Amino acid sequence: MTASARLVDYTKSFYIPISEGYVAVVNGSEYLMHETNLTNYEAIVQETLNISEHLLDSGGKTALYLDAQEIIHLMSIIRVHHRQARSINILGTALKYVAGTPDADDFSFIKSIQDRLADNNERQFQINSEFQNKINNITDMINKLVEVNKNSLSDNINFLELVLHRNRIVIAELNNVMYSISLAKLNIVNPALLNTNEINSVIFKENFDNVSVSDVLNVATVKAIQSENVLYFLVKYPKIKNVCNKISVFPVVRDEIIVNLETDTVAKCGHRIQPLQNCQKSAFSFFCEILYNATCIESLFSNLTATCKTLTAHHIPSIQILNEGVIILNNKFAEVREDSGPFVTVNGTFAIFFDDSVTVNGLIYFNHKKNSFMSPEAPMSQRVNFSDHISLLSLPYLDHVSSRNLNHINQLKQEFLTHSFLTYALLVAISIFCIFSSLFCFFIRKRDQKIRQQQLSNALELLNTAGDSRA
């Protein structure tokens, strides 16, 4: 084995720890509520149509009319969806879920803001601030032109360009809302939907190295909710407690059993070990929830005597490919060779880290990335008290049980056939014995009868002889 490949022996350990970059430790979730008010767009449509009526230029009049129709068309599409929206009436107003299925946390969050949503007449909507600022600035410029040039607006090119520019912004925003709804049905957050303040709130709350806002949004969930002319995009993203080193943990097979490690991922935060669960992967980061009361793996990593349960190991493959450049041989006899180097014979549990290629029992594995972000870790405690054994159901285990049951059934059949043959032979023997016994008794009876008849004949002859002598 050359220097570019490492063969790490874990045969005498109970687990295999492998470092795998960073992980964001998640403790709960946070919410963003983005609101889009379609009533504002209706007002812009009406204003556009009013302006078009006062223009003398037929081209400008036509352009404004087409813009107004396009905005109306887009709003009608947004209001009518491909599936029937589901209504909930837990609040003062009826809300309809347009995209996504709400969970318990979503309902709890909506209930917490019911005062904000209950009164439709007095509700203050906070729509996309960047979009609204653009619209407000253009509207102010339009109003100034109206004040300065009241009598010459019909042929003012700047005035027409400002109105058309505002319409283009509105059309682009409506298309963005439609695209966001479509992505929400796939549970994908459209980053272009969020404004600067909303993104900054995520950055402020989740200001950790090695985790970006795009990574957070990649694992976020989104629901689209509609209330009359208002669309709410409810974005639920993970609340990060800390960013730590990620260690993946794999069990070592011994005598067809493994230690129940309770999880396959832990976070190493300084000197503290935190078991994790329900991991999600974004493009560049891992997000995992905290797993509480995982005493076995915590004791193993803390170099303490661990009390653990055992599991059946039929579901653990003997050769496991973790990533390009990392292979685990679990309780396996194998011949390993890197590139064209010499063969190395191993027997037990090993982790192989290689940069180019490695051959295991004649099968070649390639590392196309030429490097790996995984690296081996040294296991800590080897002191384990076993408290219980759990027979874990898996396809290999069921196959093993099925084969064992078939063998047992075949044995029973063989025993049944053997016992049947012996019973048949015994019955035949008894039958033959009975037949011969009956024949023997019959012949004995016949012989005794002949003897008695002979004796009777002899007795009669004697009597006849004695009578003749007296005569």
What is the C-alpha separation between 254 and 349, in angstroms, rounded?
9
- CA angle in degrees (0–180, nearest 5) for 13-15-17: 115
At residue 130, the pLDDT reads: 60
At residue 2, the pLDDT reads: 46
pTM for this entry: 0.65
Strand-strand pairing, 326-338 and 286-290: unpaired
At residue 291, the pLDDT reads: 92
What is the radius of gyration, based on Cα positions, of the chain? 44
Q: Does 83 have pLDDT greater than 60?
A: no
What is the C-alpha separation between 397 and 257, in angstroms, rounded?
11
At residue 398, the pLDDT reads: 73
Residue 82: pLDDT band (50, 70, 90) is very low
Report pLDDT digits (tens) over 210-224.
777 888 888 888 888
What is the C-alpha separation between 158 and 142, in angstroms, rounded?
9
Report pLDDT digits (tens) over 326-353.
999 988 888 888 767 788 888 999 998 8
Averaged pLDDT of the chain: 78
Q: Are 96 and 181 in contact (CB under 8 A)?
A: no
Report pLDDT digits (tens) over 39-60.
878 888 888 888 777 776 677 7
